[in-house]
Amino acid sequence: MRDSNRTVRWGILGTARIAEKISVAIHQAENAELTCVASRNPVKAADWAKKHRVKRSVGSYEALLHDPEIDAVYIPLPPSLHGEWTVRAAKAGKHVLCEKPLALNVNQAREMRRVCLENQVQLMDGVMWYHHPRAKQILDLIRSDTLGEHRRLTSAFTFCWETIPENDLRLQRNLGGGSLGDLGWYCIGASLWAFNELPQKVFGTARPYHDVDFNFSGIMWFSKDRIASFDCGFDVSMRKWFELAGTKGSLVCDDFARPWENRKPQFHVTDSYGNSTKYETENPLQETCMINHFCKIIRSGHLEQQWPDLGINTQRVLNALDYSARTETVVSLADFFPA
């Protein structure tokens, strides 16, 4: 598909809660159409289609993949199903926007990338904030000399369950649950995105709950004396910030994963003397930014490999951290899933 105005026709696999936000984004996006939703249950699919203004619905994921009028699929299934359905969708010639964590392990994620490339379809994970205009502004500043030499990136992504929802996929190990994949994915991704390379070694520690990590703290050592650390979990109030500190100053974004709703997206840079500059950006819905970006790639006919690459690198660090926490050892990335 190489046509700068052509409508991208979307299908969604599964009536997930997060798909509600993405349906709004597809309706808002330029030249995009929400064509079909699939559920394992046809009645659920039909009800969801009516509620979210989807043209049609089907009672199986496979049926959606056989629909010739679908260009791209959004996969918000439990993480244990991401690999299988991404591969099936790519083989059916559909571009794939797959939720995070991309896969259960690096080999699976690499296979997803390989099959997508072989079938010339885009693969991208569902991290939205990379596509918000604020991310570009932060990255420009990080790449400038404003902060001096980078030393530490610290981040957190947490929320607190009042009552623990035992059936939630986040607490099921067989579905790929755990706070590291659910929330730590963003903190690891932010570190790789800012430092633009993989760490050399990592260490993690977790509080287990029903064989998933309920919370997780990680340290990642990078070249040139840079360290990133983070915590994530389901047991403290909503936090979604990062700080990047360098020899001349530090940058703080206190809502990087999703802008707070009651104000304009912003971040602050503070120098060694306490002089602080506030940067504010425009405020489009970040899910719409992601969908617009994805559609633009499809229309251009040029796949962007940096997205599956970033996803696979995030997966690699995530699995190394998980292994570190389970074995209580520092893990070297070169030894763990070599490139």
Ligand X SMILES: NC(=O)c1ccc[n+]([C@@H]2O[C@H](COP(=O)([O-])OP(=O)(O)OC[C@H]3O[C@@H](n4cnc5c(N)ncnc54)[C@H](OP(=O)(O)O)[C@@H]3O)[C@@H](O)[C@H]2O)c1
Q: Which residues bind ligand X (CB under 6 A)?
A: 14-18, 39-41, 44, 76-79, 81, 99-100, 126, 128, 169, 175, 182
Query: Which residue, 23 or 250, is less far from ligand X as judged by CB?
Result: 23
At its nearest, how many Å lie between ligand X and the CB of residue 37? 8
Dihedral-angle region of residue 185 (phi above 0 means left; psi in -120 to 50 means alpha; beta otherwise): alpha
Measuring CA to CA, how many Å separate 298 from each of 10, 252, 305? Answer: 12, 34, 13
Query: Which residue, 76 or 199, is less far from ligand X as judged by CB?
Result: 76
At its nearest, how many Å lie between ligand X and the CB of residue 17? 4
Query: Which residue, 203 or 255, is less far from ligand X as judged by CB?
Result: 255
176 three-state secondary structure: coil
Query: Which residue, 104 or 220, is less far from ligand X as judged by CB?
Result: 104
Query: Which residue, 17 or 224, is less far from ligand X as judged by CB?
Result: 17
Q: Report d(CA 87, CA 92) in Å as an integer.
A: 9
- Spatial contact of 181 and 234, defined as CB atoms under 8 Å apart: no
Beta strands per DSSP E along 126-182: 150-160
At its nearest, how many Å lie between ligand X and the CB of residue 51? 13
Query: Which residue, 25 or 147, is less far from ligand X as judged by CB?
Result: 25
User: Which distant-in-sequence residues (6+ apart) come within 8 Å of 87 by Cβ?
Assistant: 111, 112, 115
- Spatial contact of 181 and 100, defined as CB atoms under 8 Å apart: yes
211 three-state secondary structure: coil
Dihedral-angle region of residue 14 (phi above 0 means left; psi in -120 to 50 means alpha; beta otherwise): left
At its nearest, how many Å lie between ligand X and the CB of residue 168? 7
DSSP 8-state class, residue 183: I
At its nearest, how many Å lie between ligand X and the CB of residue 182? 5
Q: Which helix (H) or strand (E) holds 91?
A: helix 82-91
At its nearest, how many Å lie between ligand X and the CB of residue 57? 10
At its nearest, how many Å lie between ligand X and the CB of residue 318? 12
Query: Which residue, 44 or 114, is less far from ligand X as judged by CB?
Result: 44
